[in-house]
């Protein structure tokens, strides 16, 4: 196991541990370790516990909320944990340091006809990190978040004990779970039910499986070292479509039609970009072709079909919907082959990459500059209202911004792009107002990115003081296990 000690040594030899996609500055630690297996991780964590040294869990460092950035103490990284194998039931077991790209490559070579549905934007994200944040991505409209595909976990508890949890073995009954290692854990009775897509606070549902408490806990309940992952059969056909309505009303009409669509549509992803996104991409062109000249919105759709007949029915229905909403099929980009689907996926990813590039340029002049992004989601059929509120807040703040995201789940990302320190204060206030608006609409302050260090204090917008104390009690209960 590699270990580096000393604040200066870490800054010089492994500075990558001190920076993630959040672009936050000021991270530091006194020591760092890269265990290769659970026993090494357990020994190191046990020693940290004995000495009273706090530790921060680190994965692929693709997070944008600063959760992996240390504030002293030690860092334990999963990046050297690289075992992966097929299970007898056709599923996969993977160490925490396996990246999503490595996982997908392994499945392609060893499990023909199957795939792993969670599809986070960053393929360099680690398995452990995506479980710790309950990552989702575009395809979660149909397939759900990472949680749905985790069958077992190996976790090092904060005291250094190795814990193995299998789905289906331990449940919360009447908000209480009794476990031979963890003891008795109590969930609070929430004043309102958690939204379906939510990563703010611990996952808490009546009669839920114990394993779900650890998924999405952002490393606060232990260090995930290995996971058993469920696979899904690949569909016969996969259709990617980028539609470019020339009027906002056409976009919303098409969106509503798709949202209420019944069979034969099997929609896997339903995404959006607004007019400001299009303008931003024109100002920062990459290698991809630009959107059509008169585009006012972008709707990104991925659908599945399980037979030739189903494919034909799907294409006919989509064509009818485009025509009825005055969104021309002639300007749409269609993707049936892997290369065409890749172009559409790259187009989707080009926007956040361009935003990050602008932030990097501003940091040359103002090193503390970072992107401010909302991660709220509201209930079904409330997206248009939430979008309009979000846009109004950002326009009133007089900030550079773009709005895009997972339209099918009423989950959008508003990115404020500050260019100077004054705009950082404005952006911070705007993000708080947007988060508050989501909660007031019955939604969440964070639907997929977690709170990390950037948004931890948002928790009080969504939960009462007693509910937050109950979450602290859960954390303390698990940390007391030796």
DSSP symbols for 355-413: HHHHHHHHHHH-TT---EE-B-B--TT-HHHHHHHHHHHHHHHT--EEEEEEGGGTEEE
Cβ(339)–Cβ(303) under 8 Å? no
CA distance 166 to 134: 17
- DSSP single-letter state for residue 171: B
151 and 19 in a common domain: no
Residues of the chain with pLDDT > 70, as a percent, come to 97
Same domain as 338, residue 320: yes
Residue that finishes a domain, picked among 173, 202, 233? 233
What total of structural domains would you count in the chain? Answer: 3
Listed as own residue / partner, the contacts of 94-97 with beta carbons closer than 8 Å and 24 or more positions apart are 94/127, 94/226, 94/227, 94/229, 95/127, 95/128, 95/225, 95/226, 96/59, 96/126, 96/127, 96/128, 96/129, 96/131, 96/223, 96/224, 96/225, 96/226, 96/227, 97/59, 97/126, 97/127, 97/128
Residue 321 placed within a domain: yes
Same domain, 89 and 120: yes
- Alpha carbons within 13 A on the beta-carbon side of 321: 25
- Confidence tier at 367 by pLDDT (50, 70, 90): confident
What is the reported pLDDT for 452?
74
The arithmetic mean of pLDDT across residues 436-456, rounded, is 88
Q: What is d(CA 122, CA 119) in angstroms, rounded to the nearest whole number?
A: 8
Residue 64's pLDDT band (boundaries 50, 70, 90)?
low
Nearest C-alpha neighbor of 27 from the set 15, 37, 13 = 15
Residue with tokens 């909302």: 374
What's the whole-number mean pLDDT along residues 461-475? 95
Residue 381 lies in a domain: no
240 and 154 in a common domain: no
Give the pLDDT score at 257. 93
Q: How far is CA 201 from the centre of its chain?
A: 14
Average pLDDT over residues 37-61: 88
Pair 218, 254 in one domain: no
Same domain, 217 and 241: no
Residue 22: band (very low, low, confident or very high) from pLDDT cuts 50, 70, 90: low
Q: What is the CATH number of the domain that holds 189?
A: 3.30.465.10
Average pLDDT over residues 448-456: 79
Residues 196 and 297 in one domain: no
pLDDT band at 67 (very low <50, low <70, confident <90, very high): low
Helix (H, G, I), strand (E, B) or coil at 110: helix
Where a domain ends, among 320, 347, 374? 347
20 vs 122 pLDDT, higher one = 122
What's the pTM value of the predicted model, to 2 decimals?
Answer: 0.91
Query: Taking the mean position of all CA atoms in its chain, how far away is CA 332?
Result: 28
Q: How far apart are alpha carbons 259 and 301 in whole angstroms?
A: 11
| Same domain assignment for residues 225 and 307 | no
Q: Judge whether 16 lies within some domain.
A: yes
For residue 224, the enclosing domain spans 84-233
For 19, 76, 462, the CA distances from 193, given in Å and listed in that order, are 35, 34, 11
Residues 156 and 288 grouped into a single domain:
no
Domain co-membership, 48 together with 30: yes
pLDDT value at residue 289: 77
Residue 43 lies in a domain: yes
% of the chain residues with pLDDT over 90: 65
Euclidean distance between CA atoms 208 and 319, whole angstroms: 42
The string of pLDDT tens digits covering residues 262-271 is 777 999 999 9
Q: Average pLDDT over the chain, rounded to whole?
A: 90
Helices (H), 159-274: 211-214, 248-259
Give me the mean pLDDT over the 76-95 stretch: 93
- Name the more confident of 462 and 456: 462
Ranges 110-119, 303-312, 364-373: which has the least confidence: 364-373
- Which region, left, alpha or beta, applies to residue 323 given φ > 0 means left and ψ of -120 to 50 means alpha? alpha
Q: According to the model, what pLDDT value does residue 268 have?
A: 93
pLDDT at 475 over 90: yes
């Amino acid at each position: 196991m590699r270990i580096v000690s000393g604040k200066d040594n870490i800054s010089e030899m492994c500075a990558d541990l001190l920076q993630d996609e959040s672009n936050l500055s000021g991270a530091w630690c006194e020591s760092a370790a890269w265990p290769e297996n659970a026993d090494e991780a357990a020994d190191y964590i046990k020693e940290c516990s004995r000495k009273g040294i706090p530790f921060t869990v680190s994965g692929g460092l693709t997070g944008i909320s600063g959760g992996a950035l240390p504030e002293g103490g030690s860092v334990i990284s999963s990046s050297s944990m690289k075992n992966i194998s097929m299970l007898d039931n056709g599923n996969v077991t993977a160490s925490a340091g396996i990246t999503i790209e490595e996982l997908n490559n392994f499945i392609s070579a060893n499990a023909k006809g199957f795939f792993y549905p969670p599809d986070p934007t960053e393929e360099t994200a680690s398995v452990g990190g995506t479980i710790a944040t309950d990552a989702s991505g575009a395809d979660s409209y149909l397939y759900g978040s990472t949680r749905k595909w985790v069958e077992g976990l190996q976790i090092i508890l904060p005291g250094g004990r190795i814990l193995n949890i299998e789905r289906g073995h331990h449940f919360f009954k009447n908000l209480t779970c009794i476990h031979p290692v963890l003891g008795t854990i109590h969930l609070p009775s929430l004043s309102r039910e958690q939204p379906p897509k939510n990563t703010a606070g611990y996952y808490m549902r009546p009669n839920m499986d114990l394993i779900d408490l650890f998924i999405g806990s952002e490393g606060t309940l232990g260090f995930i070292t290995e996971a058993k992952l469920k696979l899904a059969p690949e569909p016969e056909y996969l259709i990617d479509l980028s539609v470019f309505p020339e009027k906002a009303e056409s976009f919303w009409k098409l969106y509503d039609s798709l949202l209420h669509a019944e069979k034969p549509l099997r929609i896997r992803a339903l995404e959006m970009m607004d007019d400001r996104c299009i303008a931003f991409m024109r100002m920062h062109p990459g290698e991809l072709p630009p959107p059509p000249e008169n585009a006012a919105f972008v709707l990104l759709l991925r659908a599945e079909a399980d037979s030739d007949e189903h494919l034909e029915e799907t294409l006919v229905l989509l064509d009818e919907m485009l025509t009825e909403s005055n969104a021309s099929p002639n300007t749409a980009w269609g993707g049936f082959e892997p290369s065409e689907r890749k172009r559409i996926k790259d187009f989707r990813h080009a926007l956040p990459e361009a935003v990050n590039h602008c932030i990097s340029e501003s940091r040359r002049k103002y090193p503390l500059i970072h992107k401010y992004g909302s991660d709220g989601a509201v209930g079904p059929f409330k997206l248009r209202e939430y979008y309009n509120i979000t846009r109004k807040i950002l326009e009133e703040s007089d900030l550079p911004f773009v709005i895009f995201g997972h339209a099918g789940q009423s989950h959008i990302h508003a990115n404020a792009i500050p260019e100077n320190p004054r705009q950082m204060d404005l952006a911070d206030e705007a993000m708080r107002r947007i988060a508050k608006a989501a909660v007031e609409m019955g939604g969440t302050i964070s639907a997929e990115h977690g709170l990390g260090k950037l948004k931890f204090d948002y928790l009080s917008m969504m939960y009462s003081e007693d509910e937050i104390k109950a979450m602290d009690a859960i954390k303390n209960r698990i940390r007391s296990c030796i």
